[in-house]
């Protein structure tokens, strides 16, 4: 049985959803994108955030 994903606040989860829409790095707080990257849900490439496979799964699991 897999461990549950780390908890995200409602605001962090909303930021994850924004990242999935693209071009969200200016719209979400820096602390959110740093945490999403550290948890492996997002990656910063060429100055832009993008979702990882883990981020896509986390979105599908919901809050």
* Predicted TM-score (pTM) of this structure: 0.83
> Would you say residue 28 lies in a domain?
yes
In a domain, 3, yes or no: no
Does the residue 2 lie in any domain? Answer: no
Domain that holds residue 16: 10-61
Domains: count for the chain: 1
Is 5 within a domain? Answer: no
Q: Could you read off the pLDDT of 51-60 as tens digits, one per residue?
A: 999 999 999 9
In a domain, 1, yes or no: no
The distance from CA 16 to its chain's CA centroid, rounded to whole angstroms, is 4
Q: Is residue 57 part of a domain?
A: yes
Note whether 57 and 44 are within 8 A (CB): no
Q: Does the pLDDT of residue 24 top 90, yes or no?
A: no
Q: What pLDDT, on the 0 to 100 scale, is given for residue 23?
A: 66
pLDDT of residue 5: 72
pLDDT digits (tens, 9 = 90+) for 40-53: 999 988 878 899 99
- Is residue 52 one of the residues assigned to a domain? yes
41 falls within a domain = yes
């Amino acid at each position: 049985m897999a461990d549950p994903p780390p908890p995200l606040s409602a605001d962090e989860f909303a930021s994850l959803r924004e990242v999935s829409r693209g071009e969200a790095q200016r719209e979400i707080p820096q602390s959110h994108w740093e945490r999403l990257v550290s948890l492996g849900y997002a990656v910063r490439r060429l100055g832009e955030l993008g979702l990882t496979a883990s981020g896509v799964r986390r979105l599908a699991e919901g809050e």
